[in-house]
Amino acid sequence: MSAAPRGTLYLVPNTLDFGAKSGIPALQHVLPLGVIEVAARLPHWVAENAKTTRAFLKRVDAVVALAQPLQAIDIRELPRPQKGRAAAPSVDEWSPLLAPALRGEDVGLISEAGLPAVADPGAALVDAAHRAGLRVVALPGPSSLLLALAASGLNGQSFAFVGYLPVDAAERGARIRELEALSRRERQTQLMIETPYRNEALLAALLAHLGSNTRLAVSCGLTLDDGFSRTDSVAGWKAAPTALPADLPVVFSLLAA
């Protein structure tokens, strides 16, 4: 007797305009039509936030009609990480989220912005899907990290995403100098992000601790109509400062000379 068919976990990219108030492009200008069509037919979703996922599906519906009413679509939220917990959740803990796929129905995984499971808590669900023997399909869409790297002109052959830097000023300064030394030794671009309201503080710290010849790139509001990318030496940034908004995500990249 053959095994019952199983569904697919689709990794559905989101736009990068989360929280933006202006300059927001139409959905079909950011996501391929094929991705929008897949999103329109999925009956089950796993997300960080059900409310923002419903807002995304309303944008999908404006381009391709949803296969069923929005109120009938099953949206489940990822479990919140537990403080002080070292071990990753077990497959059994993720099984309720994967239950529809295990019984043959397709499921979509979506991030708040960009590609699911890339600098995103959804990676644990993808791992659980593989362990359960489910088919996983990553759909094409924007990644702020790769768009920023491409726009920076820095080394795209060797790069690392290091996430958030420490908030403590002394620890942050030490980490910046450590990353610069690593970049110089490996000729490797280092990418980092920050909570938007601390964009200016991180930029100031980078300019204070990096060498004058180190190349520093800033990509702000990627895919927005008024988004921008700037790459210059640290000396150049100090000579011609650029103010950063406190309400838009920014990707910072550095490459030591």
Of residues 181, 196, 201, 198, the one with CA closest to residue 254: 181
Q: What is the pLDDT of residues 103-147, one digit of tens each?
A: 999 999 999 999 999 998 999 999 999 999 999 999 999 999 999
d(CA 77, CA 55): 15
Based on the fold, state whether residues 244 and 172 are members of the same structural domain: yes
Tokens of 25: 């492009």
The answer as to whether 34 is a domain residue is: yes
The answer to whether 112 and 14 are in contact (CB under 8 A) is yes
Please give the average per-residue pLDDT across 25-37, as a whole number: 96
CATH of the domain at 204: 3.30.950.10
Integer angstrom CA distances of residue 14 from 50, 57, 65, 204: 14, 10, 17, 30
Q: If you average pLDDT over residues 210-224, what whole number do you get? A: 97
Cα angle for residues 143, 141, 189 (degrees, 5° grid): 25
Sequence-distant (6+) residues with CB within 8 A of 140 are 13, 32, 35
Residue 237 CB coordination number (10 Å) = 21
- Judged on CB neighbours under 10 Å (0-12, 13-18, 19+), 132 is middle
pLDDT tens digits for 32-66?
A: 999 999 999 999 999 999 999 999 999 999 999 99
Average pLDDT score, the chain: 93
Give residue-wise pLDDT tens across range 171-193. Answer: 999 999 999 999 999 999 999 99
Task: Tell me the three state secondary structure of residue 141.
Answer: coil
> What pLDDT is stored for residue 5 in this prediction?
86
Question: Cβ of 28: how many Cβ atoms within 10 Å?
Answer: 15
CATH number at residue 45: 3.40.1010.10
Is 222 in the same domain as 166? yes
Do 13 and 128 lie in one domain? The reply is yes
With a cut of 80, say whether residue 84 has pLDDT above it.
Answer: no
CA–CA gap between residue 154 and residue 174 (Å, rounded): 23
Helix (H) or strand (E) holding 252: strand 250-255
Question: pLDDT over 70 for what percent of the chain?
Answer: 94
Domain boundary among 103, 138, 173: 138
Q: Is the pLDDT of residue 82 over 90?
A: no
In 3-state terms, what secondary structure has residue 77? strand
3 within domain boundaries: no
Residues 13 and 106 in one domain: yes
Q: How far apart are the first and last CA of the chain?
A: 63
Q: What is the pLDDT of residue 81?
A: 63
pLDDT at residue 88 in the model: 55
Mean pLDDT computed over 152-167: 97
Domain end (from 108, 138, 168): 138
pLDDT of residue 211: 98
Whole-model pTM: value is: 0.90
Strand partners, 233: 215
Residue 209 makes CB contacts below 8 A (sequence gap 6+) with 173, 176, 177, 180
Give the structural domain span for 54: 8-138
Domain boundary among 138, 167, 200: 138
- Is 92 found in the same domain as 72? yes
199 and 77 in a single domain? The answer is no
Model confidence at 21, pLDDT cuts 50, 70, 90, reads: confident
Q: What is the pLDDT of residue 22?
A: 87
pLDDT band (50, 70, 90) for residue 83:
low
**H or E segment and range at residue 137:** strand 135-138
Which pLDDT score is estimated for 92? Answer: 66
